[in-house]
């Protein structure tokens, strides 16, 4: 009835409400949120109950201030992933997406923050360069992950090659290779590994081409122990915005999505 929906409580939760919700979930388990308000005897909507549990009452949630390494990880992951809070929180045990988002917005957003370690130990300073951070690169040249390719299948257009890291690789007619991950966790793992092991990922301007840039991976091998970590691979950008001078690149769009660019 309309009347009951109008009288549903909003705002801060009381201790008694918390107690009722906790008891209900202890008894019936998580899920079936539609039934929770009546089961728990709460005059709250199901969404409010779910949020209260997932963001606050769940005993798995870690309380207290963020540790320095957690903050560092947030900064790094945010550089790679943008505002994908749930993905970032997924790499921080016990922290919720809401916590991470709140922390970032209140502590890190307006301040100029950088990860603690020094990036760029090997970059040739004479080469015009910029950093592009994006969690996804749809097309990679065939030199990118040579070790995981099956030579026999190179001519196929939809070859899927197993890799120790669960990446699916497919080769198109023009010998470009695209890869994808079965789920986002693996995608994050890759960028996480790149980030942790390489400190930073650098995309350097390739002088002889307007729409290709080189990616130099520095440091340890990111994902596949057998691959040559010093491989330089070409990213073919299907769509590059009007900026001609890579050295002053302010914006870069790929598949309609902006990349974060750090000059």
The reply on whether position 112 binds DNA by CB under 7 A is no
Find the helix or strand (DSSP H, E) in which 25 lies. helix 15-28
The reply on whether position 105 binds DNA by CB under 7 A is yes
The reply on whether position 22 binds DNA by CB under 7 A is no
Nearest-angstrom CA–CA distance, 243 and 263:
13
Nearer to DNA, 51 or 227 (CB): 51
Nearer to DNA, 98 or 159 (CB): 98
The reply on whether position 10 binds DNA by CB under 7 A is yes
Nearest-angstrom CA–CA distance, 114 and 72:
8
Nearer to DNA, 35 or 154 (CB): 35
Nearer to DNA, 49 or 171 (CB): 49
Number of residues that bind DNA (CB under 7 A): 32
Q: Using the rule CB under 7 A, which residue among 46, 58, 127, 165 binds DNA?
A: 46
The DSSP string of 172-232 is -TTS-EEEE-SSHHHHHHHHHHHHHHHSSEEEEE-TT-SSEEEEEE-SS-SS-TTS-TT-E
Contact segment (CB under 7 A) with DNA among 40-48, 129-137, 161-169, 192-200 equals 40-48
Sequence-distant (6+) residues with CB within 8 A of 68 are 116
List the interface residues with DNA, window 219-258 (CB under 7 A).
none
Retrieve residue 138's tokens: 């749809």
Name the nearest CA neighbour of 62 among 92, 90, 89, 94: 94
Give min distance, CB of 84 to DNA, in A: 4
């Amino acid at each position: 009835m309309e009347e009951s929906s109008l009288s549903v409580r909003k705002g801060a939760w009381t201790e008694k409400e918390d107690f009722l919700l906790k008891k209900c979930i202890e008894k019936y388990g998580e899920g079936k949120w539609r039934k929770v308000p009546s089961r728990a005897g709460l005059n709250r909507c199901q969404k409010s109950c779910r949020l209260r549990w997932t963001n606050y009452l769940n005993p798995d949630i870690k309380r207290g201030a963020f540790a320095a390494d957690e903050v560092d990880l947030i900064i790094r992951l945010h550089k790679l992933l943008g505002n994908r809070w749930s993905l970032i929180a997924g790499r921080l045990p016990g922290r919720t997406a809401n916590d991470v988002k709140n922390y970032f917005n209140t502590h890190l957003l307006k301040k100029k923050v950088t990860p603690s370690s020094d990036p760029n130990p090997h970059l040739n300073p004479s080469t015009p360069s910029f950093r592009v951070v994006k969690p996804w690169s749809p097309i990679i040249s065939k030199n990118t992950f040579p070790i995981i390719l099956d030579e026999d299948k190179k001519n196929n257009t939809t070859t899927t090659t197993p890799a120790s890291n669960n990446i699916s690789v497919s080769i198109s007619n023009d010998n470009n290779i695209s890869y994808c991950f079965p789920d986002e966790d693996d995608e994050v793992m890759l960028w996480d590994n790149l980030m942790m092991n390489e400190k930073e990922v650098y995309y350097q301007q390739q002088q002889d081409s307007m729409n290709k840039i080189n990616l130099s991976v520095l440091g340890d091998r990111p994902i596949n122990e057998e691959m040559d970590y010093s491989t330089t691979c070409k990213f073919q950008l299907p769509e590059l915005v009007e900026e001609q001078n890579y050295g002053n690149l302010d914006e870069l769009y790929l598949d309609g999505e902006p990349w974060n660019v750090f000059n």
